Structures are given as structure tokens and as C-alpha cells.
Amino acid sequence: MSALHQLVPAPWSFSAGTGELVLDAGTTVGADPELSGARRWLSRALGAATGWDLAPVPPQEAGIRLLLAPALDAEAYRLEVGDAVVISAGGAAGAFYAAQTLLQLMGPAALRQAPVAPAEAWPLPRVRVEDKPRFGYRGTMLDVARHFMPKDNVLRFIEVMAMHKLNVLHLHLTDDQGWRVQINRYPKLTETGAWRRESSLGSWRAGVFDGRPHGGFYTQDDLREIVAFAAERHITVIPEIDVPGHSQAAIAAYPELGAGDGPVEVWTRWGINETVLEVSETSLEFYRNVLDEVVDIFPSPWISLGGDEVPLTQWQASAQAQAKAAALGLDDVSGLHSWFVGQLALHLQSHGRATSVWDEIGDGGLPDGALVASWRGYEGGIDALRKGYDVVMCPEHKLYLDHRQADGDDEPVPVGFVTTLQAVYEFEPLPGVGNEDLPGRLLGAQANIWTEHLDSPRRVQFAAFPRLSAIAEVFWSNPENRDYDEFLNRLSGAHLARLEAMGVEYRPLEGPAPWQKRPGVEGWKRDYDAEQLVRN
Amino acid sequence: MSALHQLVPAPWSFSAGTGELVLDAGTTVGADPELSGARRWLSRALGAATGWDLAPVPPQEAGIRLLLAPALDAEAYRLEVGDAVVISAGGAAGAFYAAQTLLQLMGPAALRQAPVAPAEAWPLPRVRVEDKPRFGYRGTMLDVARHFMPKDNVLRFIEVMAMHKLNVLHLHLTDDQGWRVQINRYPKLTETGAWRRESSLGSWRAGVFDGRPHGGFYTQDDLREIVAFAAERHITVIPEIDVPGHSQAAIAAYPELGAGDGPVEVWTRWGINETVLEVSETSLEFYRNVLDEVVDIFPSPWISLGGDEVPLTQWQASAQAQAKAAALGLDDVSGLHSWFVGQLALHLQSHGRATSVWDEIGDGGLPDGALVASWRGYEGGIDALRKGYDVVMCPEHKLYLDHRQADGDDEPVPVGFVTTLQAVYEFEPLPGVGNEDLPGRLLGAQANIWTEHLDSPRRVQFAAFPRLSAIAEVFWSNPENRDYDEFLNRLSGAHLARLEAMGVEYRPLEGPAPWQKRPGVEGWKRDYDAEQLVRN
């Protein structure tokens, strides 16, 4: 119903009250039992930033009160700062978002991990905010396969996502260039698959390599920690095990999985790869076993099987693939793609999980109950909605944060379409559909952070922010309450300072700092052409 | 008096009690008011790892009791796990160290930032530990000038230091290759000085450059946050502003500071640099102003002025320097080095701060009350002790963690002396001094992490751990209680799992993982020769 308070409450949401409330070291926090997670998080975050000991007390006696208001939606909240701070929330998530808004109101220092100055008191403006999100799925995809991101940095990334009230982290855990999840049954997936000899430097088209080994992986306990840390912040982690393309790291570890001839190494270059899985009982059995361990780590209702970018070359050249397609009654080997994904989706279904896929799968047939992530523009998603599927929009020409943020040569390794801050702020997930009645559900949208050219957490931060701040607002608020100039004012006036306080090395609005540039490293610029959406 | 419990209590310290104590979600934590900081830290750390809400109550009613025991030293503690956990501490630091030992006893999962499994209860062995450190200064120097380390990673590094009961972080903030501290009066120090065009790849002797800009700096609020975060963990942060050598980044920003002719850029190679500050009222005034801001950020009793590696070439060629030396009544320009440092030390003294210096300064004259960090072997330190100064030992051939951890070519960019885990475990700060009565005070020792070849937090972790774990034990315990084989057992049996839980990518005992290697990048190996201790 109402607009965003992602960044700071819009003026119209302030009450007529004057003056301010002063929080001090004696502040107490009380919560209805169902909201105790939000109280604990708030006490920890506020305790870290202020150095205070925020004692818990029964809700009615507290300086900060978190109360359950069943009339509100689970993610909705009302925040009133009067003689006390009163948070009324539909559920635990709503209370958590209210706590985030409260920290935002206290100024950037409230987002630091230790007090920058010993403060006896912290003033709060008297306000009344009532808010809830537009979409239930507000996602970010992080590619930790192309460049591994150490666990500590993933946890911090989640903390920053939570500040932005995003609630889905899609972790791209496997690809041609690396396998990042420990699988107990198949140790070579990480022994062999978790590292590569070297990497393309810039666009693979330049043919330049860096000569530097790269690798790393998460243990199962690391991933359980990531999942639990995210869950405390109301973020669902969706793991992606990409099949039947983007699988060369797995094939390097277990050559019997491959459709081609002879062994391969973990891929060292970027781009679309002809190496694909063999569609066989051996591969299916292998991946079923992998997924058994994956579902045990990730409680997410969705598990992603990827399914993007599968060249047919190896299957076309393979007698086994031809025979398999014939045996399955398929017209040709192209049908193997969605058949293979479908088999694994059935296995996930037996675990009570739905399958998330990239929209290519829709070219064949979608698994029952699939969630379709529409990246090749809007069409795959709209088509899936027409067929009654759940959809998340993440069109490449709109929401790919590895794409260059400005024209010109200053952007580091400039690839893809120019995707400015303003452009992402103006994103709409269903343009041009009009009043068409679509049987499927549009769950929300997702910004994708591919990391071929983002080789460190610092580079990820540069690519993601502040565009992800704009996107978070788009995912939360209704279009009629958005105005880019007003957003820019709030960004410069308050929000960049919050990012700075959280240690985020965002891209300055005026362009990259000198040390954020990458002179001499070739990118691959594209201009938007709906007919030619090819990943670089 | 007693041995370390850095890693896990030695068996002899266990009481005869049997069975275990079970902590659960209803655990309460109470503390004498002076120990409430330790209670808060413990509640936060334990709350994060377990997901529990550890309510604070008066000390006598708590399941975990932190009590002041004035008979103990400020850093000493007694930890008794019986029907409750009873911590008796001489002061806040002792209580904090007891809290760290308690987490160690709970197993590696207690060191994670979120619960890996929902645990209803957490068993603790019934033990009695009584402990205190051997040295009051247990330091680590981190060079954030050669390679900038983002704030988040510095905070995590501090958390890992705290787990090891280290208590001094010496931050090397300025050097030829970068200036990392925001100085409001001189903005060009970071605008110009905080980044360089490119860097030597491997040893500068190879003449290879990486072509990649590098930079970054901490705002004053970032540093205040780092200081406060460290202080909560009983770690003092000593900032280093290195003069009159290692100053090319400052000279690049403000050319009037230089003794040479013409402008320079922020240095792109490693090694000893002939570019030095001009010894003039201009330079002194500039650095006095810089130090005014530095002392305002850092409450540390010591501020380091560096003072290492100052070639005389530019001063010898300078009429101004010759004249200045003559005017000061010095024999020659070599005396300008300690005179300049002495002038700034006087300024620090006027702020009530002592000066920390590298031992070269002792070749001229040491400032009153100086703390001497002895890096060129032991001699500088022993000489300073004979003269009555405070000393911290950090001999290059023993405690430099950028030096290679094994012989052979597998170590990434192998530089310096082979410095094995066993060698650092066998470090003694005052070998061969016998019973000589030294009027100075040996405050402790320090491991130095120079980062010419450590270009990311991951590389710093590889270089530092597990050697820093061994060193922490050496700084804490008495030699008669140390046995390398027994240490190795505890390391493999328990402590490496703790490092892993904290996200530390240590060097495996059997050698670097494939992705931790740097084939083709030239190092510069040295063999130990006391006569030829030259930095690479």
C-alpha cells in the first residue's frame, strides 16, 4: 500500500509530532515471544554500534517495544517514535524490517560494528512509519563460482542485503570455472573442481590469461552457518547446482560425467562452453546423490538446477546421446536438456522441494511447480506466467550488475549494456503486459551479480552498490511513490554514508576512484538489441 | 606462573571432576559491574554461535558468573566449570580471556557467527583452569600500506587476534606505496597518496609490474570504529606514521615535503627507497599537524614514527640538508634522521604520548621514553634495554610472517628466510643474554606482517596462520610449559578447526593448497646471515 522506507522514511510518513526521543545507555528492549529474534538482532546491532547493554524486559515495560499486530501482513510493520519506540509488526520479518528502519533513522554510525564516539544518548526523530513490501521475493544472485568469495565476506554481504530489506540470496555455487560446495560423497568435486590454473583476464575474446591459480570452497558447516546467518535476517538462501551445461568443473573431477571425449580441466576462460554432461543414468545418479546433500544443507523451498546456456555440439556428435534421445522418444538431442533437468526436478520434488531454473528450460518443458528466473529479457518469464508458473524477473539488459554502470572507458573491464543507476531505479518487472490476466504468479525480481570480472569482494561491492540500493527500493515500493531525483537526494544525503559505515566500497556517483579502474584490461561492450542477448 | 590455554587447556589443568556441565538456551550470564564488557562480548559471541538469548542477571544467580578477584593480576583469570561456570578475573581483560577459553572449550562451532545446527544444549567439560600471560605486550603488526585491507577484513582480523589473546595491533598506515589514513587538514594525502598506478609483481628485482592500480584508505570514523572494536577485545591499536623514509606517498601528495628534486608519484615498486623527507620546519609543521589528528583518533599510549631504512643519498646531495645538519651542530647529515624523529617525538610527548620506533633510531639517539621495536635481529633491542628503554622484540629472521613457511618452490612468492611453524614456536625474545641485569623493560614481542606480496586478506591469512597461533602461545606461556609435538597435536586436533570456523584460510600443515600457489612469480629467497639483514 505505501511507499518504501528502504533508505529513509519519505517526509509524508512523519507524524506531526515535534522534538525527538533520546535513547540512552539505559534503553531496554522488549518483544512479544514471536518477535524475540528481531529483538535479539536489534540488541546485538545496536549494542555493537553504541557499546550499550540493551537489557531485555517484558514488552510493555521497554523503551523499545516490539508487538505483534495480527492485522498486518507478515512482512509489514508500523514504527512509532513517541515517548517510546513502538514497533507493531505482522510477524518476525516485519519486526526485523522495522528494526532496520530504526537503525537507519539513527544515522550512519548506528550501522558500525563499534561506537566511533562514546555516546551517552542517541536522538531519534519523532516519526510514524507504516510500510510493507511490494514483492515477496526480493533477490540477489551472487556468483561465487567464477570467483570464490570467502565466507566472512559472504556474511557481510548478507548483512548489507538485510539492511536493504532484500530477502533472497541465490548462490551460484557451481560452474565451468569452479565447484564451491563440499560434497562428502564426491570429495574430488572440491579437491579437483574447486580451483583452476588461471583465469581469462578481461573478456575471453582478448585471449589474455592472468597465470594465477584461483580457488576455494565452502565446507558444509560454512554453508549451514551462511544459511543460519541469513535466516536470522529473514533471507532465504537458494543454492544453484547448474546442469547440464556449466558443468566442466564437475566433469574435470569425475570425467565419466562428460558427454565429450577425454578428460578436461577446470575451465580457465569465460564464455559459453560446449562441454556438457552426458545424459545417462550415471550422471543422474551422481547428481541425485549431490542433491541429497544439498537439500540437507539448504532448507530453502527452492533449489536451483540452473539449466542455462547448453550448446548441443557434444550431444550431436555423440552416438550415446542420439540413442538416448531416440530411446526417450525425443525428436532430437535438444530435448535432452529439459528432460535431464526434469529428472532431477522430480528428485527434488521427492524431497519436498521446488526447482528454480533459468528461463531456457521453458524452450523444452518446465518441471512441475518450477520457479522460472527470466534472464534473457522478459519473454521467458511472461511465457511462463502464461503457462501458470511462478516467475522471478532478472532480465539481463536491466538487472545484471556486472554490466557497466556508465558509458566510456573509465569503468573497470566494461562489459555488457550500460546499466545506470537511473535505469535500474526505473525497472519494472512486467512492462507492456497491460491488463492481460496471467495465471502464473510473479513472485518478484532479482539482481544478478556474475563475477567473471569481479575478482574480489571489493570489486563485487563496486559493481553492486549503489545500484543494489536503488533496486532494493524498486523491489519494495510501488512505482507511484518513486521519484528518481528524490531518491538521489536521499542517496547522497544519507544512504551513501550508511554504505560507507558498513564498509561497502561502492562506486562513487561521479565515477570510479582511480584505484577502482582497470586500464588495459579489455571488456566487451554491447548495445541493447533484443535479438542478440548473448552473455559475455 | 602457569602455562597457556591459548588453544585448549593442557591436561594437567583439568580438575579431578567428572562428567560435564550442559549449557542450554536458558543460560544466564552475570557479571560484577567492572566485568560487564566481558559479559556483553561473551553474550554476543555465544548468542551468535548458538542462536540463544543469554539473559543478563545479577552475578550470583547466573549460570555463567564473572566475578572480580582482586588477588589476581588484571590479565589473569580462573575458570571453573562445575555446577555453573565461574570465572574469577583480576580485571576486565582477564575476564575477557576467560570468556575466550570458555568458547574454545565448547568446540569450533562456538566460534561461528550463526548456529550450524539448532542445539538445545551445549556440553562443557568440567575443568579448572588458572592462567595468566607471560608478556604484557603481545603484538601483531599489519602493513595496510603496501596492500590496503578493507575495514571489514581488519575487524575480522582483530576478532581472530582476540581469540588468540593477542593484545596489540600495530597498524603500519603509511609508506612509499600508499597513505591510508584520512587527514582532514591535508586531503591530498589520500586523494593522491592513497593509490598507485601499479605494483611490482613479486620481488622488485624481477622488474615485473602488474599494471593494476591499487588503493584505498580508512576514514577517521573507520579508524575510530577499528580502535573501539579492538578496545572491546582488549587490543590496543598503535598507528604508525613512518618518517623520514618510507614517505614517498606523502611526498607525491605534497612535493614540498621531499628532500629530492622534482615531483614523484606514489611508489610502484618494493624495496628500500632513496626518496626521503626534507628536514625542515615545513616538514615538521606538516607532520605535527598530521600527528595532532592521529592522536585524536588513537588513544594508544604509543604512536609509532617508524624511522626504519633511511638512505642518506638525497640529504648528502642537498645543500639544504648539509646546512641544516651544520646548523644543528651535527657531524654530518646522518644525524638528521634521529633528530627529525626526536622533534616529532617531543610533539607526541606534549600530547602525553610515547613514541614507538624501529631500532634504526638507536643508531642515532632515541627519544625519551621511546619504545624500541627491534627488527634487525636482537641487537638493537638488547642495546636499548641496556640504555634503559622499553623494548618489543620482532627480529626479522624469527617473527616476519611474510617470510616463506618452508623451503622449496611451492610457497607463493617465496621471500626471506625459511620461517617454519616449529621455528616460531621455539622463539625466545632474549636468547644469550644470560643473567645480565638490563635496566630497560622487555614489554613483549610482536609478529610483523608486511604485505608487499600479500595482496588480499586471503593471502594475509595464509601467511599469518597457523604461525600466528604458535606465536600467540609463545607470547602467553612460559618456555618450560611448551612442547612442540604436544602443540602440534592440539593444533591438528582442535585449533585448525577453530580457525576454519572463523573463516581463516590458513596454510595447511602439508603445504599450500593448489590455489594458494603463485607459479611464475619471482620471490627472493635468503639464507640467514646476521651480517646481511636487508629487507626485500
CA-nearest residue to A457 within chain B is B150
What CA–CA distance (Å, rounded) separates B443 from B393?
A: 8
Asked if B56 lies within 8 A of A51 by C-beta distance, the reply is no
In this prediction, residue A101 has a pLDDT band, given cuts at 50, 70 and 90, of: very high
Q: Which of B47, B115, B156 sits opposite A228 (nearest CB)?
A: B115
Shortest distance between the Cα of A54 and any Cα of chain B, in A, equals: 10
| Interface predicted TM-score (ipTM) | 0.96
For residue A514, the chain B residues in CB contact (below 8 A) are: 195, 213, 215
**Residue B379 C-beta-side C-alpha neighbours within 13 Å:** 8
Task: Provide, as residue numbers in chain A, all residues whose Cβ is less than 8 Å from the Cβ of B113.
Answer: 155, 225, 229
What confidence category does residue A536 fall into, taking pLDDT thresholds of 50, 70 and 90? very low
Please, what is the Cα angle at B295 between B292 and B300, to 5 degrees?
165
Of chain A, the end-to-end C-alpha distance in Å amounts to: 39
Work out the pLDDT band at A363, boundaries 50, 70, 90.
Answer: confident
Q: Which entry of B159, B175, B396, B402 is annotated as an active-site residue?
A: B175
pLDDT of the residue at B235: 98
Q: Give per-residue pLDDT as tens, A458-488.
A: 999 999 999 999 999 999 999 998 999 999 9
Residue from A29, A53, A112 to probe the interface with B (highest B Cβ count within 10 Å): A112
Please report the pLDDT score of residue A4 as a whole number: 33
Taking CB atoms and an 8 Å cutoff, what residues of chain A touch B515? 194-195, 213-216
CB contact under 8 A, A228 and B116: yes
Q: What is the pLDDT of residue B531?
A: 56
- Cβ separation B116–A221 shorter than 8 A: yes
CB contact under 8 A, A109 and B152: no
* pLDDT in the model for residue B339: 97
Dihedral angle, C-alpha B418, B422, B425, B430, nearest 10 °: -60
DSSP string, A27-86: -EEEE-GGGHHHHHHHHHHHHHHH----EE--GGG-SEEEEE-TTS-TT-EEEEESSSEE
Q: What's the CA gap between B191 and B178, in Å, rounded?
A: 11
| Residues of A belonging to the active site | 175, 246, 309
Indicate if the pLDDT at residue A331 is higher than 60.
Answer: yes
Query: What pLDDT score does A119 carry?
Result: 74
User: With an 8 Å Cβ cutoff, are A518 and B213 in contact?
Assistant: yes
Contacts of B501 in chain A (CB under 8 A): 221
For B400-457, write each residue's pLDDT tens digit.
999 999 999 999 999 999 999 999 999 999 987 877 899 999 999 999 999 999 999 9
Give the pLDDT confidence of A369-386 residue by residue, as tens digits: 999 999 999 999 999 999
Cβ-based neighbour number of residue A1 at 10 Å? 10
Q: What DSSP assignment string belongs to B214-280?
A: EE--B-HHHHHHHHHHHHHTT-EEEEEEEESSS-HHHHHH-GGGBSSSS--PPP-S-S-----B--S
Residues of chain B with pLDDT under 70: 1-18, 529-536
Residue among A216, A231, A458 whose CB faces B150 most closely? A458
Q: How far is B291 from chain A (nearest CA, A)?
A: 19
- Residues A325-343: what's their mean pLDDT? 96
Closest residue of chain A to B456, computed from CA coordinates: A456
Q: Kindly give the pairing relationship between strand A214-215 and strand A236-243.
A: unpaired
Residue A116: its chain B contacts at CB < 8 A?
A: 221, 224-225, 228
Contact A51 B519 (CB under 8 A): no
CA distance B481 to chain A (A): 34
Dump strand ranges (E) for B350-440.
Answer: 354-358, 371-374, 390-393, 415-416
Euclidean distance between CA atoms A118 and A50, whole angstroms: 7
Using a CB-CB distance cutoff of 8 angstroms, which residues of chain B are in contact with residue A225? Answer: 112-116
Q: For the stretch B340-358, what's the b/e string if a residue is b when 16 or more beta carbons lie within 10 angstroms of its beta carbon? A: bbbbbbebbeeeebbbbbb
Q: Is the pLDDT of residue A390 over 80?
A: yes
**Across residues A197-204, what is the average pLDDT?**
98
- A350 pLDDT above the threshold of 50: yes
Instruction: Round to whole Å and give the CA distance between A388 and A440.
Output: 4
CB contact under 8 A, A51 and B232: yes
Decide if A500 and B47 are in contact by the 8 Å CB cutoff. Answer: no
**Which residue of the set B246, B337, B397, B403 is catalytic?**
B246
| % pLDDT > 90, chain A | 88
Report the sign of the C-alpha dihedral through residues B378, B380, B386, B391, in that order.
negative
Active site residue B175: yes
Q: Is the confidence at residue A19, as pLDDT, over 90? A: no
pLDDT-derived band at A325, boundaries 50, 70, 90: very high
CB A501 within 8 A of CB A111: yes
Which residue, among B386, B390, B338, B332, has the nearest Cα to B360 in the 3D structure?
A: B338
Who among B195, B228, B513 is closest to A515 (CB)?
A: B195
List the Cα angle B4/B10/B13 in 5-degree steps.
95
Taken in order B49, B52, B56, B61, the sign of the CA dihedral is negative
According to DSSP, residue B470 is labeled H
Instruction: Provide the pLDDT for residue B7.
Output: 47
Residue A530 pLDDT > 80: no
Does residue A185 have a pLDDT over 60?
A: yes
Is residue B351 part of the annotated active site? The answer reads: no
Grid cell for residue A339 = 528432460
Q: How far apart are CA B61 and CA B84, in angstroms?
A: 10
- Contact list in B for residue A513 (CB cut-off 8 A) is 195, 215
- Report the pLDDT averaged over residues A385-409: 96
Q: Which of A40, A221, A520 sits opposite B211 (nearest CB)?
A: A520
Q: List the single best residue of A152, A458, A517 to mutate versus B (max B Cβ within 10 A).
A: A152
> What average pLDDT does this structure show over A352-373?
93
Supply the mean pLDDT for chain A. Answer: 93
For residue B253, the distance in angstroms to the closest alpha carbon of chain A comes to: 14
pLDDT in tens, A406-435: 999 999 999 999 999 999 999 999 987 877
B296 carries an active-site annotation: no
| pLDDT given at position B396 | 96
**Cβ within 8 Å, pair B150-A211:** no
pTM over 0.90: yes
pLDDT value for A528: 77
% of chain A with per-residue pLDDT over 70: 95
Tens digits of residue pLDDT in B56-95: 899 999 999 999 999 999 999 999 999 999 999 999 999 9
Q: Is B488 exposed, middle or buried (0-12, 13-18, 19+ CB in 10 A)?
A: middle
Task: Give B402 to chain A, closest Cα distance, Å.
Answer: 19
Q: Nearest CA of chain B to the CA of A315: how many Å?
A: 32
Residue A372 phi, psi (nearest 5): -100, 125
| pLDDT above 60: residue A3 | no
Contacts of A47 in chain B (CB under 8 A): 40, 44
